[in-house]
Amino acid sequence: MQDILIDRTDGVMTLTINRVAKKNSFTNAMYSACADALEQASGDASVRVVVIQGDITVFSAGNDIADFLDTPTPGLGAPVLRFLRNLVTFPKPLVAAVCGPAVGIGTTMLFHCDLVYAGDNAAFVMPFVNLGVCPEAASSILAAQLMGYHRAAEALLLGEPFMAEAALEVGLINRIVPPTEANGLAQAQARKLAAKPLSSLIETKRLMKKGQLQQVLDVIDEEAQSFGRMMGEPAAREAFGAFMEKRKPDFSKV
Ligand code: COA
């Protein structure tokens, strides 16, 4: 699986999204590779921290749109949902490095990472409404909790991008650095975490997350059911068809 590179060094497993020609958009095979890696890292005592990173020019353009069109109603067993559940329940620290566009799941997966470092070229966007669908990865509740309702509404209803400075201000990311330094900073922080007692890291993260864990998992399933239904409806067909045909969507009839 060349589209997801997996490295294990000094207790840190690094997943590099490596499909730059398609702006690091995620295919089902890539979700499965990440889900498998997280499962393996969870049970492997030699992995203490996981880092997720992209390219210096792009973190991820979100779900591969051709895959979306091939599997319009993926169901609860879909690779993306396995990836999300494994991410949400991952017991050890997760560190992300984000440069360039982080679209859709490129942004929403960050709600489930513990530390996020961004290049100053990072641009976050959750364009679900503009695609005729609805939020995923529990972003329908987590965005408002993090940013406050009105900023979340701007991000989710208008689907407007926000840059690294705004992401820092709302607390979605920890620090902004030049893009050439983002992956290195994430690695350095991961190594610091890897040197700490793993049992304390796991227990601390469990206590920090446990109040909302079941709710987050339930919301992910509810969002997925709506998302799957909406994928088959006219608004999404128009939005995705327009992307493939490289034209502006026309929502005047939906
Ligand atoms: N799925 C499939 N292919 C994608 C993709 C996606 N989500 N995002 C980009 N690509 C492909 C483009 O089709 C293009 O392929 P081509 O060279 O064969 O024509 C290539 O990646 C480069 O994309 P392009 O749009 O030309 O790059 P850009 O630098 O101008 O813009 C983005 C980058 C990320 C802003 C833009 O590609 C984008 O908005 N992508 C769609 C994001 C999206 O809606 N994702 C779904 C979220 S739920």
Ligand 1, atom 13: nearest CA belongs to which residue? 22
Phi, psi of 116 (to 5 degrees): -130, 125
Which residues are CB-neighbours of 18 under 8 A, at least 6 positions away?
Answer: 2, 3, 4, 5, 24, 55
Predicted confidence at residue 73, as pLDDT, reads 66
pLDDT 10s digit of each residue in the chain, 254 long? 899 999 999 999 999 999 999 999 999 999 999 999 999 999 999 999 999 999 999 999 999 988 888 876 667 789 999 999 999 999 999 999 999 999 999 999 999 999 999 999 999 999 999 999 999 999 999 999 999 999 999 999 999 999 999 999 999 999 999 999 999 999 999 999 999 999 999 999 999 999 999 999 999 999 999 999 999 999 999 999 898 899 999 999 88
Ligand 1, atom 34: nearest CA belongs to which residue? 61
Residue 61 Cα to ligand 1 midpoint, Å, equals 6
Q: Are 133 and 231 a contacting pair, CB within 8 Å?
A: yes
Kindly state if the Cβ of 236 falls inside 6 Å of ligand 1. no
**Which amino acid type is present at position 94?**
L
Residue 232 Cα to ligand 1 midpoint, Å, equals 21
Kindly state if the Cβ of 22 falls inside 6 Å of ligand 1. yes
Torsion of the alpha carbons at 148, 154, 155 and 157, rounded to the nearest 10: 120
Report all structural domains of the chain as residue ranges with CATH numbers, in order of start.
1-179+198-254 (3.90.226.10)
Ligand 1, atom 45: nearest CA belongs to which residue? 62
Give the count of alpha carbons within 13 A of 193, CB side only.
24
Ligand 1, atom 22: nearest CA belongs to which residue? 22
Phi, psi of 175 (to 5 degrees): -160, 150
Pairing of the two strands 94-98 and 123-125 = unpaired
Q: Select from 18, 20, 23 the residue to mutate for testing ligand 1; criterion: most ligand atoms less than 8 Å from CB.
A: 23
Kindly state if the Cβ of 65 falls inside 6 Å of ligand 1. yes
Residue 246 Cα to ligand 1 midpoint, Å, equals 10
This prediction has a pTM of 0.96
Predicted confidence at residue 71, as pLDDT, reads 76
Phi, psi of 143 (to 5 degrees): -65, -45
Q: Are 25 and 62 a contacting pair, CB within 8 Å?
A: yes
Ligand 1, atom 6: nearest CA belongs to which residue? 64
Instruction: Indicate which atom in ligand 1 lies nearest the CA of residue 244.
Output: 13
- DSSP codes joined into one string, the chain: -TTEEEEEETTEEEEEE--GGGTTPBPHHHHHHHHHHHHHHHH-TT--EEEEE--SS-SB--B-HHHHHHSSS--TT-HHHHHHHHHHT--S-EEEEE-SEEETHHHHGGGG-SEEEEETT-EEE--TGGGTS---TTHHHHHHHHH-HHHHHIIIII---EEHHHHHHHTS-SEEE-HHHHHHHHHHHHHHHHTS-HHHHHHHHHHHHHHHHHHHHHHHHHHHHHHHHHHTSHHHHHHHHHHHTTS----TT-
Kindly state if the Cβ of 103 falls inside 6 Å of ligand 1. yes
